[in-house]
Amino acid sequence: MTTHPDICVIVPTIRHPDCVRAYVQNARSHGFNTDRLHFLILTEDFCDISAIESMLERLEVRGGVYDESTRRDWFDTQEITEYTHLIPEASHAQTSFGLLYMWANETFKFGVFIDDDTAPHDECDFFGQHLRNLSHGGRMPTAQSDAQWVNVLYQSSTDLYPRGYPYQAMDAKVNTVSTDVDTVVASQGLWTNVPDLDAVRILMDGDLNGQAKTRTTSDDYKQDFTVAEGQYLTVCSMNLAFRREIIPAFYQFPMDDNQWEVGRFDDIWSGVLLKRAVDLQDKTIYNGAPLCAHNKAPRSTFGDLANEVAGLELNEHFWEVIDAVNPERESYRGTAVAVGKRLEQGDFSSWQNGAFLNHCGTYLLDWLDCLEAITSHSANPSATEVIAGDWLLDEPSSCPGKSCYSGSE
């Protein structure tokens, strides 16, 4: 391999790292150049890193594997140890580490989030379709509603609302118009099989195994669409591609590992922040293809409910706080700064666990400081060599640490 990867594929997993196989096979079956892909596997210290490394090697793809220990090592190497708190322990929000990793290496122009309980549809060119979406220009359907929220399942007859969709916006009337789209910065692929619902809605569907009895199919998605300016949508990170430029306004908020025990809204809230930043710059989030199959394993619906309930009221209002922000600079960083200050300084005491929003504001501002510190450090040529080391498989001697896949830079 000689091509430097320009797509960082970020996969958080503790159970099914072998999900990567299906995505590599899909790429090759559709003629997509896998030399462009760098698989960044995020896992925990109790997982077998060597087995994941061996899988990547057998698949002949480039990548790095990071558990909690090697993530700390990476922060040390980047001289940003004071920012390790940005990545919560034992949380899906660890995907933020993947964003920092991308930021530290300008070779990555695109990122892709993939959850380990998903698989691409064989007939669809998964990576190719995401890149085509990000390059889309021309007219396409744009959805809006009378509640300022668009249900990404609005075309379906299932009457389902995805995880993170506000209860106050249920039954909103959605209509679409054809608009010109010229700058797409994120591509959200949707899902078949197990719908991405919160625990309350799963219980309403009569399921105690964390899955919901209702299933979605390709027929539930009749056309790809965008969402109008000033409107919001749920952004799920199980199947999502994006341009590097959005990272300042795409922090995956620090869930689970906090004193309020708020969880399960990391990607939802980051999507709200991103949508505000995108709107201010007349850019677009594309929704629809490529679909993935969401093969969520059975688990206690009440367990998910326990993880979500602390943040349910906040989720009803988080978007209103962000929608009211008018940044001095209409940029990703400018929007994130304004939102961070508003959250950090606001009085949200009338809502259950309102102080968690202050916590999120502080962390978002720290996130921006961390990105600046990485930029300063990456200006050092020796730092660039270290970051690049784990995926230069044709030059293994340049890899610091025990393996070209270990992420032990």
Q: What is the pLDDT of residues 243-294, one digit of tens each?
A: 999 999 999 999 999 999 999 999 999 999 999 999 999 999 999 999 999 9
If we measure between CA atoms, which residue out of 257, 229, 325, 242 comes closest to residue 94?
A: 257
| pLDDT the model gives residue 377 | 84
Identify whether 404 is part of a domain. Answer: no
Strands 37-42 and 138-145: unpaired
| Assigned domain for 317 exists | yes
Cβ(219)–Cβ(172) below 8 Å: no
Evaluate whether residue 61 is within a structural domain.
yes
For residues 256 and 263, is the Cβ–Cβ distance under 8 A? yes
109 falls within a domain = yes
Domain assignment present for 370: yes
Q: Residue 167: which domain range?
A: 7-398
Give the span between the Cα atoms of 127 and 8, in whole angstroms: 11
Residue 329: its pLDDT value, please?
84
Q: Is 279 within the bounds of a domain?
A: yes
pLDDT at site 243: 98
Q: What is the pLDDT of residue 396?
A: 27
Number of domains, the chain: 1
Domain contains 405: no
pLDDT at residue 380 in the model: 61
Residues of the chain with pLDDT under 70: 1-2, 380-409
Mark residue 363 as left, alpha or beta (left: phi above 0; alpha: psi -120 to 50; beta: remaining): alpha
**Would you say how long the chain is, in residues?**
409
pLDDT of residue 378: 74
Instruction: Please give the Cα distance from 97 to 342 (Å, whole number).
Output: 24
**Does residue 325 form part of some domain?**
yes
Q: Is the peptide bond before 254 cis (omega within 30 degrees of 0)?
A: no
Compute the distance between CA of residue 165 and CA of residue 374 in angstroms, rounded to an integer: 34
Burial class of residue 74 (count of CB atoms within 10 Å of its CB; 0-12, 13-18, 19+): buried
Residues 6+ apart with CB under 8 A from 325: 276, 335, 338, 339, 342
What pLDDT, on the 0 to 100 scale, is given for residue 47? 87
State the pLDDT at residue 386: 33
